[in-house]
Amino acid sequence: MILGLALAMPSVTARFSGADYYGGMTASLFTGESLGYLLVGLLAFALGVCVTVLCVRLHERERDEGSEEERGDA
């Protein structure tokens, strides 16, 4: 999903022009040229958080199942 979005970003950001953010006090991060990179970075971070939470929950579940087996064997 992230790769597909990264490939689609040039066409999405082409609609945004620098004139929309004209001004001496605007950050270069929010210009139309880097909007796609910002969006892909945020989505990649969110995906990383979701995968981390999933792995932690699976690890806790395996640990709980292992302790239940030990109690049953003793």
What are the pLDDT digits (tens) for 21-39? 555 555 555 556 677 777 8
Give dist(CA 27, CA 41) in Å, integer: 17
Confidence at residue 38, expressed as pLDDT on a 0 to 100 scale:
79
Confidence at residue 3, expressed as pLDDT on a 0 to 100 scale:
77
Q: What is the mean pLDDT of the chain?
A: 75
Overall pTM surpassing 0.75 (yes/no):
no
Burial of 38 (0-12, 13-18, 19+ CB in 10 A): middle
